[in-house]
Amino acid sequence: MAAGQAAHDPRVNAARYRAEGALPAADAPRDNRTAVEMRAWARTAIDQAIARGDFDDLPLAGKPLPGLAGDTVDPDWWIRGLIEREGLTGLAPPALALRTEHTTFEQTLDALFSEAAVRAHVDDFNARIIEARRQLRGGPPVVTPTRDVDDEVLRWHRRRAERRAREAAAVPPPPPTWRERRALRRELRRRRRR
């Protein structure tokens, strides 16, 4: 095999890349543009986008970026905004995930059908809070309080009874039977005759 053919053999190039950790000098991509040329290219791309109208009617045009204005400086403003916009779950640190779950805890319990399931969910929630307090990986502090299982079960029973009472009150009365309809027709005929 000639030396010229070996330089173009992809298997040889792959082996050389694995051994040396870089592409051969002849195959390496090169950017010979100067900083002035790069700046001019970027300016041209921006001007073309403006001419096409790509920057028209942006949602925050002329307004400060949310999360950056105000007295508090949050270094994670962008990721928090992304999580809120996209409705992502499971990506937040345990402290934030537990706070979020704490705010919707009663709705979660109301979706459960048995007392055993409610007890299991409250026990699991409390165990995750305790585990998050023990972890030493950093992140925001865990300030979410644990829940008393018996109190939560009692509240769940009360909410369930109230919900059933509301649903029972909202159910329309059953339609009249044929005898009730006949009696109603007779009464209406009698009133018309008077």
d(C-alpha 102, C-alpha 143), whole Å? 11
Residue 122, domain member (yes or no)? yes
What is the distance between the alpha carbons of residues 8 and 1, in angstroms, rounded to a whole number? 11
Name the residue with tokens 């053919």.
5
Residue at 132 is within a domain: yes
Q: What is the mean pLDDT of residues 123-140?
A: 87
The answer to whether residue 146 is domain-embedded is yes
What are 100-113's pLDDT values in tens digits? 899 899 999 999 99
Q: Does 46 fall in a domain?
A: no
Number of domains in the chain: 1
Q: Which domain does 162 fall in, by range?
A: 92-170
Between 67 and 129, residue with greater pLDDT = 129
Residue 49 lies in a domain: no
What pTM value is reported for the model? 0.48
- Residue 164 within any structural domain of the chain: yes
Measured CA to CA in angstroms, residue 54 lies from 42, 47, 49, 85, 128 at distances of: 15, 10, 5, 22, 46
- The per-residue pLDDT for 9 is 80
pLDDT higher than threshold 70 for residue 72: no
The pLDDT of residue 25 is: 61
CA distance 150 to 118: 10
CB atoms within 10 A of CB 139: 13
Domain-located, residue 192 = no
Over residues 80-94, the mean pLDDT reads 77
Model confidence pLDDT, tens digit, residues 6-38? 557 888 877 777 777 655 566 666 678 888 999
d(CA 19, CA 5): 19
C-alpha atoms less than 13 angstroms from C-alpha of 38 in its C-beta half-sphere: 5
Higher pLDDT, 70 or 141: 141
Q: Please provide the average confidence, as pLDDT, over all residues in the chain.
A: 84
**Is 54 a member of any domain?**
no
Structure confidence at residue 141 (pLDDT): 83
Q: What is the 3-state secondary structure (H, E, C) of the chain?
A: CCHHHHHHCHHHHHHHHHHHCCCCCCCCCCCCCCHHHHHHHHHHHHHHHHHHCCCCCCCCCCCCCCCCCCCCCCCCHHHHHHHHHHCCCCCCCHHHHHHHHHHCHHHHHHCCCCHHHHHHHHHHHHHHHHHHHHCCCCCCCCCCCCCCHHHHHHHHHHHHHHHHHHHHHHCCCCCCCHHHHHHHHHHHHHHHHC
